[in-house]
Structure 1
């Protein structure tokens, strides 16, 4: 009797992780969202105008960081082994990352950033639904309430832009970004035994190569080069490494929920660094998103403490 390769064998849904692992996973995903949230502030400081060149440089430096991290941690032989062992789940995550990073740039040419952010607000809902269907993960009422609050908060943030630059192509691509990001979250969670750092690296590498082919030129000034190093290595590379490491330790809906701190904090960094004062609705919506996440985290912490208490004799 022949056995199917490990990458093709169905993997049962992950068991609930220990409290310490879940806490570490939540902190890593939160760190990823914080890293991603600086992207807008960094992009504001760039003088280069070709978006494809920006993405190509960003993905190049992100690839360097991820490859360097894996070589330092696992050595050349171990790094090659990670790429070979990621199997179909890793290729799936790589495909999702490549689609998300390239679709974002194309969508900006057809629709507004506000519309893209609004679609991203649906990621926790999509991830929760996919988790229920494919992982049999139970989503409690408090998490559903937090997801709805996040969607409402980001809707308030971008409500000033409703009705402008509506495009079937642009909004379709924005929805695609939300779906593939949620799918990558669920795949990472389902195959929690597979390290997804090489998958993220491969996806970024493919996205960067596509952007390089579509760019009008790769010449940049020295100041732009420094910002692009931050944009790629720290914002995208480090953020993606933390996300794929943390997302496998916590439920899919929670990982996607925590990642929504990116659009909530993004306008704050632009405000503090570049002096661009956010609109009142942006501040109100950001506060709603922040309170939804903090309230959910406090509720989970209280529940975990209650569970950990010894039973009375």
Structure 2
């Protein structure tokens, strides 16, 4: 019996979907990369206060987005259909966002960034072990190049006060984000925007139980609206939509663009010029991402 033939139109639709997914995940990394710039604009001592307001505005943005796009009935259906997979993704986002603040109290930013560079590797391994998702040799090479590049970026500032607890929390961030990526890809038929909303609500609830107060100035509130609605909320919406359409390893790999862009935006907006190692490491990460994306586009065109 002859094997079924996939029509050219179906193949092109699949390629188009992967390109759209890759663009959305890359867009989420770009949106998230402005987080450092926005955080520097705030003069709030209690980090839990920032987490609370940021998560609250992210949740409101995502809820408004779903209501405008799908209506009240459609939004209810989205929450009903997300199931345990959606709740798990939301819990992963909440874990990653709260663990980030806790990790910084015990270890350096450099250690956190370096450990988070393992997200593509963890996502690839989880997808392969749990769901048999194939990872090509070129993707493994790109992942290794990204980890090396980030290691060079932070190698000049790895000294300082660190602890096993801080590094363990940083590793928890990486596992949580990688798990969210793999689950989103595995349940690609489930729209995960409600999961992003759930994660923001969980993070806001955790912050509310820990913060010393909720008072902020009018100017700080305006920055927090942008920080939460656009930086956090829009980034989540782009990521959970795009990650459904591409392999888990590629989604996590594209997410590392945030690591490269954050120092660039801080240098432009706050005159904090990055060091030589940051520039060299960032160039390696960027080259790895561009080469991998270029290879994937060339492969799809040949196919």
User: Which TM-score band applies after superposition, normalised by the shorter structure?
Assistant: over 0.9
Structure 1 position 16, deviation (Å): 12
The corresponding residue for 1:44 is 40
Report the Cα distance in structure 2 between the residues aligned to 1:74 and 1:123, rounded to whole angstroms: 32
The corresponding residue for 1:121 is 117
* C-alpha spacing 1:86/1:16, structure 2 compared with 1 (3 Å): farther
Question: What are the within-5 Å matches in structure 2 for residues 252-271 of structure 1?
Answer: 252-271=248-267
Question: What are the within-5 Å matches in structure 2 for residues 1-313 of structure 1?
Answer: 18-307=14-303
251-260 or 200-209: bigger deviation: 200-209
Gaps of 5+ in 1: 1-14, 308-313
Report the Cα distance in structure 1 between the residues aligned to 2:284 and 2:218, rounded to whole angstroms: 39
Structure 1 position 163, deviation (Å): 3.5
Matched position secondary structure for 1:267 = helix
Any idea what the Cα deviations from partners look like across 1:223-263, whole Å, max 9, x if unmatched? 21111111101111000000000001000000000000011
Report the Cα distance in structure 1 between the residues aligned to 2:21 and 2:166, rounded to whole angstroms: 33
Contact 1:86 1:198 in 2 (8 A): yes
Tell me the matched-pair count: 293
TM value normalised by structure 2: 0.95
Structure 1 position 17, deviation (Å): 7.7
Contact 2:108 2:158 in 1 (8 A): no
Report the Cα distance in structure 2 between the residues aligned to 1:61 and 1:17, rounded to whole angstroms: 35
240-249 or 159-168: bigger deviation: 159-168
Structure 1 position 135, deviation (Å): 2.3
Any idea what the Cα deviations from partners look like across 1:49-87, whole Å, max 9, x if unmatched? 210000101001101100000011111121122111111
Matched position secondary structure for 2:243 = helix
The CA RMSD over aligned residues, in Å, is 1.3
TM value normalised by structure 1: 0.92
The corresponding residue for 2:6 is none
Matched position secondary structure for 2:66 = helix
Contact 1:53 1:218 in 2 (8 A): yes
Structure 1 position 164, deviation (Å): 2.1
The corresponding residue for 1:12 is none
